[in-house]
């Protein structure tokens, strides 16, 4: 059952990777076609125009990189939280199973001590 789930996950991952690559290819093609089909000569561009284009492309690239890194970090965080919670619950289950009677005796001793302290003025 786990092997089938793993194969399905691998297949979905491959499909997502191919789909993302296809979308990037289409967007790159459309943008390239639009840039090549415009009638702008390099002599008309000023240094400030070129600088603004470079800065805007850098900002777009930076935001895309930030998005992907934040997504990866978030996924790692939730995965680690899940593993930690699972391990803690397993440990607590073993502690309760192994020391249930001992904890019961401690609780009884604490109750009797509490009653003795409550009696004092």
pLDDT in tens, 65-95: 999 999 999 999 999 999 999 999 998 888 7
Sign of the C-alpha dihedral computed for residues 51, 53, 59 and 62 taken in this order: negative
What stretches in the chain show pLDDT beneath 50? Answer: none
Per-residue pLDDT at 7: 57
Tokens 């000023």, residue located: 46
| pTM assigned to the model | 0.45
CA distances from 53 to 32, 45, 56, 61, 71 (A): 15, 11, 5, 12, 27
d(CA 61, CA 59): 5
Please enumerate in sequence order all residues whose Cβ is within 8 A of that of 111, keeping only pairs 6 or more positions apart, or say none. none
| Residue 71, phi-psi category: left (phi > 0), alpha (psi -120 to 50), beta (remainder) | alpha
Count of CB atoms within 10 A of residue 75's CB? 10
């Amino acid at each position: 059952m786990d092997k089938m789930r793993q194969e399905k996950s691998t297949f979905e991952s491959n499909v997502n990777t191919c789909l993302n690559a296809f979308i990037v290819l289409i967007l790159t093609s459309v943008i390239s076609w639009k840039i090549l089909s415009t009638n702008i000569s390099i002599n008309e561009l000023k240094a400030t125009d070129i600088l603004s284009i470079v800065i805007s492309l850098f900002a777009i690239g930076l935001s895309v990189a930030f998005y992907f890194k934040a997504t990866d970090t978030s996924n790692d965080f939730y995965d680690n939280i899940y593993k930690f919670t699972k391990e803690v619950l397993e440990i607590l289950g073993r502690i309760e199973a192994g020391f249930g009677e001992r904890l019961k005796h401690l609780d009884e001793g604490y109750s009797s001590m509490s009653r003795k302290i409550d009696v004092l003025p």
